[in-house]
Amino acid sequence: MRYSALDIVRQAFSGNRHWKPVWREPQPKAHYDVIIVGGGGHGLSTAYYLAKEFGITNIAVLEKGYIGSGNVGRNTTIIRSNYLLEGNEPFYEFSMKLWEGLEQDFNYNAMVSQRGVINLFHSDGQRDAYARRGNAMMMHGVDAQLLDREEVRKMMPYLNFDHARFPVLGGLLQKRGGTARHDAVAWGYARGADQRGVDLIQHCEVTGIRRDEAGRVLGVETSKGFIGCNKLALATAGHTSVTGQMAGLRLPIETHVLQAFVSEGLKPVIHNVITYGAGHFYISQSDKGGLVFGADIDYYSSYAQRGNLATVEHTIEEGVSLIPGLSRVKVLRAWGGVMDMSMDGSPIIDRTPIDNLYLNCGWCYGGFKATPASGFCFAHLIAKDEPHYTARFLRLDRFERGLAIDEGGKGPQPNLH
Amino acid sequence: MASLITCPHCGSRPKEEFSIRGDALPQRPAAHAPDEAWHAYVYLRDNVKGVIFEHWHHVGGCRRYLVVERDNVSHDVLSVTDAARFRRAAASGQDGVVAAGKDLA
Amino acid sequence: MTPHRLSTGGLVNRAMPLRFSFDGKPLKGFAGDTLSSALLANGQMLMGRSFKYHRPRGPVTAGSAEPNALVTLGEGARSEPNARATVAELYEGMAARSQNRWPSLSYDVGSVNSLFSPFLSAGFYYKTFMWPASFWEKVYEPLIRRAAGLGRAVMAPDPDRYEKAWAHCDLLVIGAGPTGLMATLAAARAGLRVILADEDFRQGGSLLSETAVVGGLPAADFAAAILAELETLSNVTLMARTTVFGWYDDMVFGAVEKVQKHVALPDPDLPVERVWRIVAKRALLATGAEERPLAFGGNDRPGVMTAGAARTYLNRYGVAVGRKVAVFANGGSGYRTAADLTAAGIDVTAIIDPRTEISRAQVDLAGESLRILSGASVTATRGRLGLAGLVAERSGHEEVIDCDALLMSGGWSPVVHLLCQRGRKPVWSVAHQAFLAPDVGAAFVPAGSAAGLARLSACLRDGAEKAVALARDLGFAAYDTDIPPVEGEYDPAFAPLWYVQGSKGKAFVDFQNDVTVGDLSLSQREAFGHIEHTKRYTTGGMATDQGKLGNVNTIGIVSGMRGVSPEAVGTTTFRPFYTPVSFGALAGTARAEQARPTRRSPLHGWAARHGAVFVEAGLWHRSAWFPRAGEKTWREAVDREVLTVRENAGLCDVSTLGKIEIFGTQAAEFLNRVYSNAFLKLSVGKARYGLMLREDGIVFDDGTTSRLGPNHYVMTTTTAYAAEVMAHLDYCAQVLFPELDVRFASTTDQWAQMSLAGPKSRIILQRLVEDDLSDSAFPFLAAREVTLKGGLAARLFRISFSGELAYELAVPAGFGEAVADHLMEAGREDGICAYGVEALNVLRIEKGHVTHSELDGRTTADDVGLGRMMALQKPDFIGKRLSTRFGLTAADRLQMVGLKPIEPDAEIRAGAHLLKENAKPSTTNDQGFVSSACYSPTLGRHIALALLKSGRERIGEKILVWDRLRESEVLAEVCSPVFVDPDNLKLRD
């Protein structure tokens, strides 16, 4: 069922009684061309693009919980393509282009809102680093603006300009950056994939990977029995090491918990996405009025989708020091998502040493914005057995070869990225 | 665990006093070890879901590195050992560091 | 007396009237009122507007689960949006304003949304607003944003104070109702350190609304008597106005205390709120139970509220919620409330009870005169801004009943929130028809009605018994506590009714977010059947009350639609915060200039006296430049400072460099492993520049290390990486090389260190130093203790960052300013000046020295021209092994070079990129970037350091410095990064 303005009217007059299910609830078949493990944003977008762009439709997406129950439903909804390095910027810009056409493409309103993402700087050194990044973006044809203190003040007069521990000196603005409604992204891809014949199988946990004597993957053991496949694709960020282990892979990843927060609903007050440069704090306001924000990971290895109070306090201290007017606003809810922290802070979309096993992982904090390109590039890889041009650096062997893509310059300690 | 750590030198202390470094089990290879060993040491992690050994640096206290044995799902702390002692015990196969010993041997 | 205030009764202090205002209208209440009880007393039932349809709303509760009665409290910078009127303690001068309405609460244009509600069903926005594509952001979204939200944040700096504290106890009791009071008493008598926390400003919980007699006293007096005893016990801490909002690992609880939220003008010496981290050995959840609303048509009309709420308004506040009240209940609570109202002289028109079989006790409770419609339901309500009547339906027969309040009771849900915050889900109990707390182990248990108990007497007993058990578990000798007898308790039994079939009009399950039974039905039809999908699709449970009232009904209704048990539907995830907590409280004192500590060098005062302009450098304030009279720009000052250093001498504060004192018989071996260059043969009295790598072969930090004795070294690090280097050394010494005999300590704060640079530095310094400083006696890289005139021992290092003849002099921090003053005095005739980090930066760029602008965590030693520092002949050092990987040694890596603009006046800025002349800008054509740039007064032109692909082979090439971001393109010549004294003649002068 394709949504149209006419539909809305027709349904309204018939009590909204005739809307159809947005996806089927199929039983798994015995065998698929491609099985994608993980019904989160990346798994769903991979299925969608495989079906839509690469003509492969005999696909199952296996999800141990419900569609979108991973980090796609548990993030701060920021989209942007303001990266520095050659390994990242073209990939994230590809993603941004896909965001820009997403709703028309999958006929679902994911509320992509290009309200501008600004990274504030607080020292000359930071300004130089952001200038370097802004020029790197422009080198790739991406929009970037370097604002001075007064220009920032005009846009965001509520920031702490006069009594700040780390005064705001300016910011790097990407106007095309913004937010998207996270659940709708998952649902839109799921619906689009389902309409093209992809089987979305919820509550189906993968418990093992069956391989033949030569090591090739035959299929997966699941809570709904064995399901065979020609190609197996893992999109289980947060749990990649666990699923990887099923195939004997040891990966450059540590799992960490990142908390995020939402305030009570407020009338519009923060228009843009703001990132604090003197700490690590990012905030935007949802269309519902809640301030959505986050900061650092909790720093310890964790598979629990919840964090601790120290990080909560730290996050909110940063928030109030940047935006003093938040002080009397109340925080409504905190949640935690577990994520693959990779060894250089950049993701991996690659084949593995096992030749029909494909890997999409290592998204650190940044997986949401990558959802479209990640799916597209992973689909490209699965369909064609060669990397998409924009993902050609996101390889598994880059660590061995000394080709790390280290945006933060932090080195091989995953909790620093 | 992640709210309070009982430092063997300082007692029960809040998380804010610590800086967390990461997996405590990988052991630095000998200088002449094969490339694969060095790659694995620097870049690869077991990252198990369950009981792990992790380096916590008591920067706001005694400045000792501690090996915190912890369940990363329940967040229960099972043991806390001074890292140097942990390393020596593991090297000499003593009990005390038990579970980790097999990985370190 | 205000229209709905009863002439007697209640716990308000009628001797203390309070003035307050609502939407500017002056009103009166009493001390002990909440805002909502005072508004109700004044006949003001309409308190807010809902989120989506802007429907008029009054309070549904008398407590913290309130979804409707949200107001903005306070004025100006003290405005607090979204305050729940039902828990806001009334104070003299309180100014409250309604929200989410325009132009006024009783006439709100936004309520037109209700008319369009067929178009605004759950998830409607996902299916629409897509045509034309550009309209989403330009038209639809701005409209939606304006209509959404609730209160308004003023975004002004908060004038009040907040703080945070730790508390420790044997037992934390959460909730000071009957269960919590008895538990606290029992535990306290056993000698435990007990904290009793309760969100209310008056402790006693349900006892304050209760008409039963407990231990021979009216319930509220009984509560007061126990509290009076607890007050006398030194091992008990009573924390009123304190909400425990979260349960974290290791039995750490987060709580927020409203210290001064109940006064118009807070005492500036006290915080208004205080966040507590409570570390408890054991905890008891005595948070009671929440009464469920019923889902029927028009159940949101102002005047429709839970029976328990009306009972609280009546018994605790002496307020009648209506004059003609109807009750719609499926259990004892409705009957008890009706009886209380009747006793207070309020007209109860009918009890409508969907059950056909009602217990004798409940019928008796209602009394003979009360009309009971059993087997009946309310299907609709009448009225516009307030309730005027209801439609009851029984066996197909409809009856309109006039009423101005309708009290609903759908049974009770234990408040198990906190016990479910660490991963365990609540468990459905068929017997209780409710979700009960999961078993999380013996350290934290529920008691009383939070554990599913219904009767008051059972709660009193359970509280005491569980506390005794916990006390014994902790090794205390605890004795059973006498349980006071209860007279007049009622039978609270109920039969669940999830929603009323045949309802007319919208039946709400989430009041604030306007989620109706119809929305739930749509979500099921559209495959959003998983309860998380249902929640996310309909937004049910996502409002400021986080589904405290509605979630159980949602689950019950969905279970009915799907034909499964509530257990099979399950719950969504419980997460902090139990009720919303202000940013201010969680930030505590860390705000404004105090957001983080400020570090000041021991020479800060000296620099300030010389007029320094300070700049942020991490936590430090460093002197950036020292402007003099007549200098109009910072550049004029910096240029003068640079030239003075190059021609005469300058003094710069370098105290912020990290300083680490290293001792041990194997200190040399240790240094040899942590530095990439050789350190074994450094002789006593000598300094050496050292380069530290990460294990992945990338440069980590640089600095000098000097050998002061056979087993004694002092290391300096960069200012930015001092803490990281120290942590790294700890790691190396404790984890990697625990066999080495080496000890070290950070002494950054113990020494004042100053750099004296320039051709005249030796002459000047010699005037202060007893020791011979001639080149032969104290050559380049000499490092040793010297004696200053007057006898002060100091450390002197002949090292140079500027490229000039230079020394670094370190004295104990307390002597810093005096020594700096003497040096300035000693150098006056030679034209010495103070110089700051800006001049220092220019000097080092001119000399081609690197900082973390070049060492950005991605560069190798070779990249920055320090390949000679890689002592690969050493058997091992940190970073050696991985430094030779393909990617780190590739021929096209970026290498450090110098840049000179072809046009002498042209300026280059750091952050610009590099392109071949006439090349098209693209990521693949990108040749590198400018890492540092400055105007060089020495050369009289702008210069820069850059990292350029294969840069060292390209000296002499012309390259475009591409700075599109700042709309500048400058052609430059690639040159050596060393612009002054390439042969280091000055250093060895």
Quick: pLDDT tens for C283-320. 999 999 999 999 999 999 999 999 999 999 999 999 99
* C527 has a chain A CB within 8 A of its CB: yes
Indicate which CATH number applies to the domain containing B34.
3.30.2270.10
pLDDT at C366: 86
C246 and A309 within 8 Å at the Cβ level: the answer is: yes
Query: Which residues in chain A are closer than 8 Å to C127, comparing Cβ atoms?
Result: 3, 7-8, 108-109
Query: Which residues in chain A are closer than 8 Å to B77, comparing Cβ atoms?
Result: none
Query: Which residues in chain B are closer than 8 Å to A251, comparing Cβ atoms?
Result: 44-45, 47
Quick: pLDDT tens for A177-226. 999 999 999 999 999 999 999 999 999 999 999 999 999 999 999 999 99
Quick: pLDDT tens for C65-99. 999 999 999 999 999 999 999 999 999 999 999 99
B21 and A412 within 8 Å at the Cβ level: the answer is: no
- Mean pLDDT for the stretch of residues C314-335: 97
Quick: pLDDT tens for A108-143. 999 999 999 999 999 999 999 999 999 999 999 999
Confidence band of C1 (pLDDT split at 50, 70, 90) = low
Mean pLDDT, all residues of chain B: 88
Q: Which residue type occupies C482?
A: D
If one looks up domain A26-81+83-108+182-252+344-416 in CATH, what number appears? 3.50.50.60
Query: Which residues in chain A are closer than 8 Å to C882, comparing Cβ atoms?
Result: 402
The range of the structural domain enclosing residue B91 comes to: 4-104
Return the residue in A303, A312, A316, A413 with the most chain B beta carbons within 10 A, the one to mutate for interface testing: A303
What percent of chain C has pLDDT above 90? Answer: 93
Query: Which residues in chain B are closer than 8 Å to C423, comparing Cβ atoms?
Result: 73-74
Considering only B92-96, C719-723, C931-935, which range has the smallest mean pLDDT?
A: B92-96
- Segments in C377-455 forming alpha helices (H): none
Q: How many contacts, defined by CB atoms under 8 Å, are there between A and C?
A: 362
- C-alpha pair distances (Å), A361 with each of A207, B1, B20, B40: 18, 27, 23, 18
Question: Is B74 in contact with C722 (CB distance < 8 Å)?
Answer: no
What percent of chain C has pLDDT above 70? Answer: 100
Confidence band of A11 (pLDDT split at 50, 70, 90) = confident
A306: pLDDT strictly greater than 70: yes
- Mean pLDDT for the stretch of residues C952-971: 98
Question: Is C968 in contact with C909 (CB distance < 8 Å)?
Answer: yes
- Mean pLDDT for the stretch of residues C737-750: 97
Helix (H, G, I), strand (E, B) or coil at C987: coil
pLDDT at B105: 32
Other Cβ atoms closer than 10 A to A110: 26
pLDDT at B94: 57
CB nearest to A158's CB, from C146, C155, C580: C155
Domains defined for chain C, CATH in brackets: 1-152 (3.10.20.440), 162-289+414-487 (3.50.50.60), 293-410 (3.50.50.60), 497-578 (1.10.10), 648-835 (3.30.1360.120)
Q: What are the domain boundaries of chain A?
A: 26-81+83-108+182-252+344-416, 117-177+255-342
| Interface pTM, i.e. ipTM | 0.97
* C599 has a chain A CB within 8 A of its CB: no
B99: pLDDT strictly greater than 70: no
**Nearest of C601, C587, C673, C599 to residue C163 by alpha carbon:** C587
* C898 has a chain A CB within 8 A of its CB: no
DSSP class of C356? S
**Nearest of A376, A315, A282 to residue A49 by alpha carbon:** A376
* C157 has a chain B CB within 8 A of its CB: no
A294 HSE (CA, 13 A, CB side): 19
Return the residue in B19, B42, B68, B76 with the most chain C beta carbons within 10 A, the one to mutate for interface testing: B42
Quick: pLDDT tens for C965-986. 999 999 999 999 999 999 999 9
Quick: pLDDT tens for A146-173. 999 999 999 999 999 999 999 999 999 9
pLDDT at B100: 44
Characterize A87-100 residue by residue with b for buried, 16 or more Cβ atoms within 10 angstroms of its Cβ, and e for exposed.
bbbbbbbbbbbbbb
Query: Which residues in chain A are closer than 8 Å to C925, comparing Cβ atoms?
Result: 139
Quick: pLDDT tens for C248-257. 999 999 999 9
In CATH, the architecture of A117-177+255-342 is 2-Layer Sandwich (3.30)
CB nearest to C583's CB, from A11, A319, A335: A319
- Segments in C349-487 forming alpha helices (H): 360-366, 456-473
**Nearest of A398, A371, A409 to residue A48 by alpha carbon:** A371
Return the residue in A313, A328, A338, A398 with the most chain C beta carbons within 10 A, the one to mutate for interface testing: A328
Domain count, chain B: 1
Query: Which residues in chain C are closer than 8 Å to A143, comparing Cβ atoms?
Result: none
Quick: pLDDT tens for C7-43. 999 999 999 999 999 999 999 999 999 999 999 999 9
Quick: pLDDT tens for C145-179. 888 889 999 999 999 999 999 999 999 999 999 99
E runs forming strands in C641-737? 650-653, 658-663, 686-693, 699-709, 712-717
* Strands C273-285, C162-174: pairing kind: parallel
pLDDT at B2: 59
Sign (positive/negative) of CA torsion B17, B19, B22, B27?
negative
- How far B59 CA sits from the closest chain C CA (Å)? 8
Rounded CA separation C918/C370 (Å): 95
Rounded CA separation C253/C168 (Å): 10
Q: Which residue of C has its CA nearest to B2?
A: C249
A146 and C581 within 8 Å at the Cβ level: the answer is: no
B102: pLDDT strictly greater than 50: no
**Nearest of C30, C26, C23, C25 to residue C47 by alpha carbon:** C23
**Nearest of A344, B55, A294, A51 to residue C698 by alpha carbon:** A344
pLDDT at C368: 84
Contact residues for C392 (Cβ-Cβ < 8 A; gap 6+): C350, C352, C373, C376, C377, C378, C379, C398, C399, C400, C401
Confidence band of C131 (pLDDT split at 50, 70, 90) = confident
- How far A298 CA sits from the closest chain B CA (Å)? 9
Domains A26-81+83-108+182-252+344-416 and A117-177+255-342 share a fold: no
Quick: pLDDT tens for C469-497. 999 999 999 998 899 999 999 988 899 89
Return the residue in A250, A253, A300 with the most chain B beta carbons within 10 A, the one to mutate for interface testing: A300
Q: How far does chain B reach from its first CA to its final CA, in angstroms?
A: 27
What Rg, from alpha-carbon coordinates, does chain B have?
14
The DSSP H or E segment spanning C623 is: strand C620-625
Q: Which residue of B has its CA nearest to C880?
A: B31
Confidence band of A7 (pLDDT split at 50, 70, 90) = confident
C134: pLDDT strictly greater than 90: no
- Mean pLDDT for the stretch of residues C915-928: 97
Mean pLDDT, all residues of chain C: 96
Contact residues for C4 (Cβ-Cβ < 8 A; gap 6+): C40, C41, C42, C43, C319, C320, C321, C322, C323
* C275 has a chain A CB within 8 A of its CB: yes
Q: Which residue of C has its CA nearest to B18?
A: C727
- How far A217 CA sits from the closest chain B CA (Å)? 21
CB nearest to B3's CB, from C248, C723, C882: C248
- Which subunits sit against B, judged by 3+ Cβ pairs under 8 A? A, C
Confidence band of B1 (pLDDT split at 50, 70, 90) = very low
Quick: pLDDT tens for A227-279. 999 999 999 999 999 999 999 999 999 999 999 999 999 999 999 999 999 98
pLDDT at B104: 40
Query: Which residues in chain B are closer than 8 Å to C248, comparing Cβ atoms?
Result: 2-3
Q: Which residue of C has its CA nearest to B28?
A: C736
In this structure, what token pair is assigned to residue A361? 């992982």
Quick: pLDDT tens for A43-97. 999 999 999 999 999 999 999 999 999 999 999 999 999 999 999 999 999 999 9
Q: Which residues, numbered 468 to 507 in chain C, qualify as contacts with chain A under a Cβ-Cβ cut-off of 8 Å?
A: none
- How far B67 CA sits from the closest chain C CA (Å)? 10
